[in-house]
Amino acid sequence: MASLNKQSLREEFDTLKGRFEKQCAAGEMTPDNRALFQALLMLLELVVAVFLEKHTPKTSTNSSRPSSQTAKDESALERPGARGKGKQLDTARSANTRTVETIALTKVAFCEHCGEDLGKIACQGHERRTQIDIVFEKVVSHVDAEIKQCPQCRKKTQAAFPDGFSGPLQYGAGIKAYMLNLLIAQMLSLKRVQQSIQTLIGLAISEATILKYVLQLHHALARWEESATAKLLAMPAMHVDETSLRVERKNHWIHVCSAGEITLKFLHRKRGKAAIEAIGLIPRYGGVMIHDCWASYLAYGHCGHGLCGAHLLRELTFIVDAEDYAWARDMKELLQQTCKRVSKRKRKKLNRPEYEKLQKHYRDILALGETELPPIPPRQNGKRGRIAKSDAHNLWERMKKHERAVLLFAKEAHVAFTNNRAERDLRMSKVKQKVSGCFRKREYAEAYCRISSYLQTMANRGYNPLVAIQMALSGELYAQGVSSYAARILSGKRQSKKTHHRQLKRVLERRD
């Protein structure tokens, strides 16, 4: 053997196996020797399969390992469209921002060529040049309450302060929304939020004050979370996933449930069924759950299941890279072609004859895999525990057992091919932990989950995060008719300050 690589090792093993089969066919092997060599070849084939998998590097393209833990692919940056523009930003502005636009006119007095007076000549056109700048403005509002002494009883009476002026010094809704946006949506640390606010207003707001606003928004969104949960339970399909989060120097788990425009995150100490039961959403759900074949999800048989095609494709890619099995290559091609075919359909699913044909092709590929995979040796007497299997064998068994869940995306239009929705919703929590570290107390981690769920849901509906936070803190979120009012704010239509306050007052009166 010239070199110990995948191709030469597999070729050498196939050569030895062929020689053994020829000797058996020629009758040169006794029955005892034949049985002994067959057992040795079976064990050797299993060892070769595991060896090839162990020496095949796992990357983000052939496994669930994130790209941050794999070597950077420089060639990917050279492909057309690799540096995409990304998602278009929402142009809606919050209620406490304004645009001041001025137009200045420069006149022509004399001809620059002959010096003729052009002051009374009519203008034929204009050339406009524009400059955009930001002026940071701190708005300080003082309210002086009168104090008068009664001439009869000689006692003093003080005028009442307006709502929102509960103490000697308070911060407005704009500052609260800006701080919470930096802390939750932009994932800055408390110290950086303090520095940013001090740069704008010249005052250092304490961490305790910022955290008080976090809990204030957290409690204000309790009613929203209940209504969002009720809407999520009525959805025909739901994406679920989980990821770890460090809280109080211990490992906790964020569980996400997403469907349509709604995203809900919940924090729990456990990852499996205990957490699912404590959260209480999946046990009441009757639709289709799309997930990555986690055993805790499969334990709930009262609802449907759809397996993530992206996970399966990555595992099949690894099997092809490691073993070059024909069944894995054919299965990968089948899933990719079916996904493309379904996406181009107007109804987003296959008809009954097409689905039956897909099932037959799927089972034929699995039958091919059964002949390619090395047989598993029987369990010896007295031995306990799981039988050692290669990744290829485990994947083959999983795809055979959960055939309906793998192909459900081609049968039901509301079932997606991948679980990327849930993974995208969880991705920012990992960025938050990487930037800001772990949470000191559990209550703030739970607040982060609820607030980030709300902001992601409102972002899916097209709301500016500053607008969304102010709506929740002021109670406009639950006001009757507030959706139409918020829509006018988001549309960016210009309106006078008097009209703005009159409409807001009408909405709040209707709420009361």
Query: pLDDT truncated to tens, each residue of the chain (512 aa)?
Result: 344 455 665 666 677 677 777 777 777 777 766 666 666 666 666 666 666 655 566 666 666 666 555 554 443 334 444 455 555 555 666 667 778 888 888 888 888 888 888 888 888 888 888 888 777 778 889 999 999 899 989 899 999 998 888 889 889 888 999 999 999 999 898 999 999 999 888 888 999 999 999 999 999 999 999 999 999 999 999 999 999 999 999 999 999 999 999 999 999 999 999 999 999 999 999 999 999 999 999 999 999 999 999 999 999 999 998 888 899 999 999 999 999 999 999 999 999 999 999 999 999 999 999 988 887 777 666 667 677 778 888 999 999 999 999 999 999 999 999 999 999 999 999 888 888 888 989 999 999 999 999 999 999 988 889 989 999 998 888 874 444 444 444 444 444 445 544 554 554 454 44
Phi, psi of 480 (to 5 degrees): -70, 130
Q: What is the pLDDT of residue 60?
A: 64
Contact yes or no for 392/319 (Cβ under 8 A): yes
Q: What is the pLDDT of residue 91?
A: 60
Q: How far apart are CA 52 and CA 12, in angstroms?
A: 14
Q: How far apart are CA 31 and CA 25, in angstroms?
A: 12
Q: What is the pLDDT of residue 338?
A: 95
10 Å CB burial of residue 179 (0-12, 13-18, 19+) is buried
Q: What is the pLDDT of residue 291?
A: 95
Q: What is the pLDDT of residue 500?
A: 47
Q: How far apart are CA 394 and CA 388, in angstroms?
A: 10
What residues does each domain of the chain span? 6-54, 309-373+390-418
Return the SS3 of 267: strand
The partner residues of 265 in beta bridges, in order of sequence, read 256
Q: pTM here?
A: 0.75
Return the SS3 of 505: helix
Q: What is the pLDDT of residue 181?
A: 93
Alpha helix segments (H runs only) across 168-308: 173-180, 190-201, 207-220, 222-233, 273-279, 295-298
Q: What is the pLDDT of residue 82?
A: 45
Q: How far apart are CA 183 and CA 180, in angstroms?
A: 5
Distances in whole angstroms, Cα of residue 113 to Cα of each of 67, 106, 125, 192? 64, 18, 19, 58
Q: How far apart are CA 191 and CA 434, in angstroms?
A: 15
Q: What is the pLDDT of residue 184?
A: 93
Q: How many C-beta atoms lie closer than 10 Å to residue 232's C-beta?
A: 20
Contact yes or no for 281/230 (Cβ under 8 A): no
DSSP 19: H
The separation between CA 183 and the C-alpha centre of its own chain, rounded to angstroms, equals: 18
Dihedral angle of Cα 113, 118, 124, 127, to the nearest 10 degrees? 60
10 Å CB burial of residue 127 (0-12, 13-18, 19+) is exposed
The radius of gyration computed from the CA coordinates of the chain, to the nearest angstrom, equals: 33
Q: How far apart are CA 263 and CA 387, in angstroms?
A: 40
Residue 240 CB contacts under 8 Å (≥ 6 apart), including other chains:
255, 256, 257, 258, 282, 289, 290, 291, 297, 419, 422
Q: How many C-beta atoms lie closer than 10 Å to residue 133's C-beta?
A: 4
